[in-house]
Amino acid sequence: MTVATNDQVRLLLDEVVDPEIPVLTIADLGVLRDVAVSEGSVLVTITPTYSGCPAMDLIRSEIASTLEANGFSDYSIETVFSPAWTTDWMTEEAKVKLRDYGIAGPAPVEPVVSGIGYQVSAAVCPLCRSDETRMVSEFGSTACKALMVCSSCGEPFDLFKAL
């Protein structure tokens, strides 16, 4: 049995990255909600980004294999829905990592305005930093991203949607 503290386990779990955006760890994303070690048993709590996020199964199995590789056999992984995940949990450091990877980070989540609201706030191009950008589609290569194009440099890029 491995004896460890909550912080040591958290450090180990920094190896677990989002399979779709491998520059971000599950802690960067805010998917990792809690780590609790008690009498040698580890409880890891995670929350999904989007209801249908297909990466969750893989994330769960990577947490398991990371723990097992480090000698933990007594662990459980729980999924919670509340409070609902928000991009506001993403650290500033994570947003810089995203930008360097070519994905525009999410704007702060604005309070929900009633009414129709067709408009989505624009983003800064991660390549040339121009704010002359427009949305091609609110839905991109993964559930969490929208497809954008920069009017200044002409390059398409992904935007991590504010949720």
Partner 1 sequence: MTGFATMTDPAAAYVLRHGDDNLVLAQRLSEWVSLGPELEEDIALANVALDHLGVATHLLGHASQLVGGGTTDDDLAFQRTEREFTNVVLVEQPNGDFAHTMARQLFMDAYQRLLWEALAVSEDAILAGIAAKAHKESLYHFRHTSGWVVRLGDGTDESHTRMQAAVDNLWRYTGELFEMDDLDRQMVESGVGVDLGALSGPWLHAIAAVAADAMIALPDEVTQRGGGRRGFHTEHLGHLLSEMQWMQRTYPGLEW
38 forms part of the interface with partner 1 (CB under 8 A): no
- Closer Cβ to partner 1, 51 or 65, answer by number: 51
Tell me: does residue 77 bind partner 1 (CB under 8 A): no
- Residues 103-122 binding partner 1 (CB under 8 A) are 112, 115-118, 120
CB of 87 to partner 1, least distance (A): 10
Closest distance of CB 118 from partner 1, Å: 5
* Total residues at interface with partner 1 (CB under 8 A): 28
**Residue 8 or 48 having the CB closest to partner 1:** 48
CB atoms within 10 A of CB 53: 18
Tell me if 84 contacts partner 1 by CB under 8 A: yes
Residue 10's CB is within 10 A of a number of other CB atoms, namely: 16
In terms of DSSP H, where are the helices of 5-112?
A: 6-13, 26-29, 55-69, 92-100
Residue whose pair of structure tokens reads 């408009």 in the numeric block? 119
Options 11-19, 65-73, 83-91, 121-129: segment touching partner 1 (CB under 8 A): 83-91
DSSP tag of 8: H
Helix boundaries (H) for 26-122: 26-29, 55-69, 92-100
Question: CA 126, 131, 132, 138 torsion: positive or negative?
Answer: positive
User: What does each C-alpha distance from 163 to 12, 46, 69, 108 come to in angstroms?
Assistant: 28, 17, 34, 9
The amino acid at residue 27 is: A
Given the complex with partner 1, which of 9 and 146 has the nearer CB atom?
Answer: 146
CB of 48 to partner 1, least distance (A): 7
As measured in angstroms, the least distance from the Cβ of 107 to partner 1 is 14
Residue with tokens 């491998």: 22
What residue ranges bind partner 1 (CB under 8 A)?
A: 48, 50-54, 80-85, 112, 115-118, 120, 136-141, 143, 147, 161, 163
